[in-house]
Amino acid sequence: MKTRLWTLYRTLLNNHYGFSAAKFYYIKKRQRTWEPLVIVAGLTPAVVMGIVFIWNLTEQLFIGGLAFGQPHLALLNGALLVSLAGLFFGFFSVLSAFYFSTDLEVLLPLPLKSWEILTAKFAVVLTGQYAINLLILLPLWLRYGLLAGVGLGYIVSAVVVFLALPVVPLVLASILAVLLMRLVNISRHKDRLALVGGFLLVIVLVGFQFWLQSSLGGDDPELVMEQLLGRADGIIKAAGRVFPPSVWAAQAMAYAHTWQGWLNLLYVAALSALALFLLYLLGEKVFLQGLLAGLEGSRGTGRARQVELAEERARAPLMTVASLEWKLFVRDPGFALNGLIGYVLLPAMALLPLFGQKLQNNPFELLALDQLHPLVVAGGLALYFLFMTGMSMIPATTFSREGRYLWIIRSLPLDIEQIIGAKVLGSQGVNTIGCLVGIIPVAYLMGWGVGEVVLGAVLGVLLASALAGFLVLFDLRKPMLDWVNPLKAVKSNLNALVGMILGLAFGFALGFLLYGNVQTGTLWLIPLELLAAALALGALVRVLIRRWAPQLWARI
């Protein structure tokens, strides 16, 4: 049994991260050997900067915490960060791995118990979490260890905490995902319900965070700091409210040489073991029913469909392929939850602090905060459109998401330029609606005028479309077509990362330009500059598409 689970885990891990494929192409066939080098070279600066940042922050927290008798503040922050991130991002990962992977139809007929499938898939997600945690925790723990002059007990505690810490958040995420799917899979509209359920869960998490922030002292940073650091147990209580195992983990490592430390370590290990047992029960009792219900087909009524048939009208190919783009994106919970969540989350994060200032009691005070010039508002909104088109991952993964279905569009009599045009149109349809959904309530609360919102939206659509064109072309260069878990096409896709970085980089560059306009008092230049940037980028992208797209399309 142990061997079977181990084999399953190794196979799923291999398939998920493409180890065999990498070995085959890079070592055996010696093809595309430059790719890993480019990836490593591209990621190394970001990783090194991140490590340096964590290293320095740990030192500051250690010194700051020492003044309040809490030198292990850094340990606590690290444990809390990876735990909450594991819970939040883990939810999407497990939902996709458990229910939307195409390998489930292969695994289910095998003589495997449902808990074995669940556990193996859970372990694959957990392995990814370990890799991320290692990058965050290793420099942090190392710096703390050097500053505090720790001993062997600290290292033993660190190993146990490292192994145990991500288990509880991921099991919690798994329970949420399994219960959600058990509930929605009884419906014919399970994809839609999964999407809505996922969004609701995110809103609950954000709401919880907001409540916590409010309960700690609301918008007064001094009060928050006093509560966090002013009392000997202040930070412990605050963190304990969010996620108690993070407190145990920090204390286990900080007091590794005392019985108190070992007791906390026992708590962490015991809770993780309990969580794994819960996962086992979940696999046995609930997972399979939800999965089987999800795999069942449903049939419509013949009469209703006849009416639908009679009403069909022909549309232009461009519009059809554009609508195909957004339909395929928003109907797949794996794609949609990852791509669309930012449209909800960012405006929510922008609005929550405002409510924290007791908006409902004094709305005029909030409106009086509006000191921004309309052209600055318009410019900022335009940059938001640009930024979100990268963050949504829609254009940057458009061909990748087609996966094994790409043959359909390739065999149709469509020019690649038409296809790119349709994909830009489809992705910008989603981006525009997503951005407006977030902007409109913010604009209402901030008292922005219709004029600046419309101007910002128009400029934003132009800028975002130009960037989207480039990102679609970039994905065409090397689409990730070989996936069984749809999440892989968006989350493990380098093209998506490039899209995010470019969205951010263009946003910052143009934001810097806007800042210059504010400083020099040349606000009237803002729309002209953004328009010029959109047209220039658009023209460049068009040239690139004409030059490269046909070759890349033929090469796939």
Partner 1 sequence: MLKLEGVTKRYKGASVNAVDNLHLEVRPGEIFGFLGPNGAGKTTTIKMVVGLLAADRGKIVVNGRDLAADPLGAKRSIGFVPDNPNLYPRLTGLEYLNLIGDVYGVDGATRKRRLDYYLQMFELTSAVGDLIQSYSRGMQQKLALTGALLHQPPLFILDEPMVGLDPRSAHLFKRVMQEHVNQGNTVFFSTHILEVAENLCHRVGIINKGQLIACGTMDELRQASGQAGSNLEKLFLELTDAGGIDED
CA atoms of 472 and 428, how far apart (whole Å) = 12
Give min distance, CB of 28 to partner 1, in A.
9
Asked whether position 301 contacts partner 1 by CB under 8 A, the answer is: yes
Using the rule CB under 8 A, which residue among 302, 361, 519, 524 binds partner 1? 302
CA atoms of 16 and 492, how far apart (whole Å) = 9
Which is closer to partner 1, CB of 67 or CB of 316? Answer: 316
Asked whether position 555 contacts partner 1 by CB under 8 A, the answer is: yes
Choose the binding region for partner 1 from 33-41, 258-266, 325-333, 464-472 (rule: CB under 8 A): 325-333
Give min distance, CB of 343 to partner 1, in A.
20
Using the rule CB under 8 A, which residue among 260, 306, 362, 522 binds partner 1? 306
Asked whether position 324 contacts partner 1 by CB under 8 A, the answer is: yes
CA atoms of 131 and 136, how far apart (whole Å) = 9
Output the DSSP codes for 337-363.
HHHHHHHHHHHHHHHHHHHHT-GGG-H
Asked whether position 109 contacts partner 1 by CB under 8 A, the answer is: no
Contacts of 23 (CB under 8 A, 6+ apart): none
Which is closer to partner 1, CB of 152 or CB of 310? Answer: 310
Structural element, H or E, at residue 395: none
Which is closer to partner 1, CB of 301 or CB of 519? Answer: 301
Give min distance, CB of 24 to partner 1, in A.
9
Any idea which residue has 């939040």 for tokens?
88
Give min distance, CB of 472 to partner 1, in A.
18
Asked whether position 300 contacts partner 1 by CB under 8 A, the answer is: yes
Using the rule CB under 8 A, which residue among 332, 464, 467, 491 binds partner 1? 332
Does residue 92 contact residue 337 with C-beta atoms inside 8 Å? yes
Asked whether position 299 contacts partner 1 by CB under 8 A, the answer is: yes
Output the DSSP codes for 91-130.
HHHHHHHHHS-TTHHHHTTSS--HHHHHHHHHHHHHHHHH
Give min distance, CB of 206 to partner 1, in A.
28
Asked whether position 316 contacts partner 1 by CB under 8 A, the answer is: yes
Asked whether position 331 contacts partner 1 by CB under 8 A, the answer is: yes
Does residue 389 contact residue 468 with C-beta atoms inside 8 Å? yes
Which is closer to partner 1, CB of 424 or CB of 464? Answer: 424
CA atoms of 229 and 239, how far apart (whole Å) = 12
Using the rule CB under 8 A, which residue among 240, 317, 429, 538 binds partner 1? 317
Residues 386-445 that bind partner 1 (CB under 8 A): 404-405, 407-408, 410-415
Which is closer to partner 1, CB of 285 or CB of 331? Answer: 331
Contacts of 95 (CB under 8 A, 6+ apart): 177, 180, 181, 194, 198, 333, 334, 337
DSSP state letter for 330: H
Give min distance, CB of 194 to partner 1, in A.
12
Tokens of residue 200, six digits: 């609701």
Does residue 526 contact residue 375 with C-beta atoms inside 8 Å? yes
- The residue type of 61 is L
Using the rule CB under 8 A, which residue among 305, 358, 373, 546 binds partner 1? 305
Asked whether position 371 contacts partner 1 by CB under 8 A, the answer is: no
Using the rule CB under 8 A, which residue among 314, 360, 512, 524 binds partner 1? 314
Give min distance, CB of 430 to partner 1, in A.
15
Which is closer to partner 1, CB of 25 or CB of 68? Answer: 25
Asked whether position 191 contacts partner 1 by CB under 8 A, the answer is: yes
Using the rule CB under 8 A, which residue among 45, 149, 297, 521 binds partner 1? 297
Here's the x/- map for partner 1, 19-38, by CB under 8 A: it reads as ----------x-x-------
Choose the binding region for partner 1 from 295-303, 438-446, 493-501, 504-512 (rule: CB under 8 A): 295-303
Which is closer to partner 1, CB of 152 or CB of 314? Answer: 314
CA atoms of 139 and 56, how far apart (whole Å) = 10
Cβ neighbours of 394 (radius 10 Å): 34
Give min distance, CB of 273 to partner 1, in A.
38
Structural element, H or E, at residue 1: none
Any idea which residue has 């132009």 for tokens?
462
CA atoms of 507 and 176, how far apart (whole Å) = 35
Output the DSSP codes for 248-308.
HHHHHHHTTTSHHHHHHHHHHHHHHHHHHHHHHHHIIIIIHHHHHHHH------HHHHHHH
Give min distance, CB of 17 to partner 1, in A.
22
Q: How much is the CA Rg of the chain, to the nearest whole Å? A: 26
Using the rule CB under 8 A, which residue among 196, 286, 293, 328 binds partner 1? 328
Which is closer to partner 1, CB of 146 or CB of 408? Answer: 408
Contacts of 363 (CB under 8 A, 6+ apart): none
CA atoms of 98 and 91, how far apart (whole Å) = 10
Using the rule CB under 8 A, which residue among 109, 313, 512, 519 binds partner 1? 313
Give min distance, CB of 554 to partner 1, in A.
5
The residues binding partner 1 (CB under 8 A) are 29, 31, 191, 296-302, 304-306, 308-310, 312-317, 319-321, 324, 327-328, 331-332, 404-405, 407-408, 410-415, 554-555
